């Protein structure tokens, strides 16, 4: 009798583990296509700019790209979103023009990185560039808007 009880308990544990692996993470509620807007205001002799680009959240992980990988002007935005919508994202990029980069620190074609602290809601989010010690960088902001899921055309 005891081995039968252990067998059922073991089977129940296995079933619970399988169900937990198939269940989406709480952060998956943000999954979908997002329009990302990056705005960096002018600062000193450095011009400001605004970029709009697509991002995707899948399994609670965000990935967005602007430009062409490996070329000047490229930006990659990545990171995980917590169940409460908070996120620490990372930016990696290549300076496209010295006109838009901090003159003393960045030159065209050089790589750069910085962090972004963000907060997501069901259909929108916002973030700010982490300025570290406040010595380098400028107050760039990120705005995120979830795009509606497109229903398939009836004629297809």
Q: What is the pLDDT of residues 111-126, one digit of tens each?
A: 888 999 999 999 999 9
Selection from 11-15, 57-61, 99-103, 131-135 with the highest mean pLDDT: 57-61
Please state the domain extents for the chain.
27-146
- Spatial CB neighbours of 34, under 8 Å, sequence gap ≥ 6: 54, 55, 56, 57, 62, 64, 125, 144, 145, 146, 147
Which CATH superfamily does the domain covering 27-146 fall into? Answer: Quinohemoprotein amine dehydrogenase alpha subunit, domain 2 (2.40.128.120)
- At residue 5, what are phi and psi to the nearest 5 degrees? -65, -40
Global confidence as pTM: 0.75
* Contact present, 134 and 44 (Cβ < 8 Å): no
Alpha carbon separation from 97 to 30, 100, 128, 135 (Å, rounded): 34, 6, 22, 21
The residue-averaged pLDDT of 18-46 equals 79
Helices within 23-95 (DSSP H only): none
pLDDT above 80 for 105: no
pLDDT above 90 for 1: no
Selection from 6-15, 40-49, 97-106 with the highest mean pLDDT: 40-49
């Amino acid at each position: 009798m005891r081995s039968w009880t252990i067998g059922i308990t073991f089977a129940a544990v296995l079933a619970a583990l399988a169900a937990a692996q198939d269940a989406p993470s709480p952060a998956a509620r943000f999954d979908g296509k997002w329009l990302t807007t990056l705005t960096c205001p002018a600062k000193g002799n450095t011009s400001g700019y605004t970029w709009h680009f697509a991002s995707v959240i899948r399994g609670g992980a965000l990935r967005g790209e602007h430009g062409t990988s490996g070329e000047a002007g490229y930006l990659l935005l990545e990171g995980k979103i917590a169940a409460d919508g908070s996120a620490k994202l990372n930016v990696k990029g290549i300076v496209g023009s010295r006109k838009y980069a901090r003159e003393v620190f960045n030159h065209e074609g050089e790589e750069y990185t910085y962090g972004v602290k963000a907060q997501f809601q069901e259909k929108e989010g916002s973030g700010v560039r982490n300025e570290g010690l406040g010595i380098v960088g400028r107050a760039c902001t990120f705005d995120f808007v979830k795009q509606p899921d497109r229903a398939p055309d009836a004629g297809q």
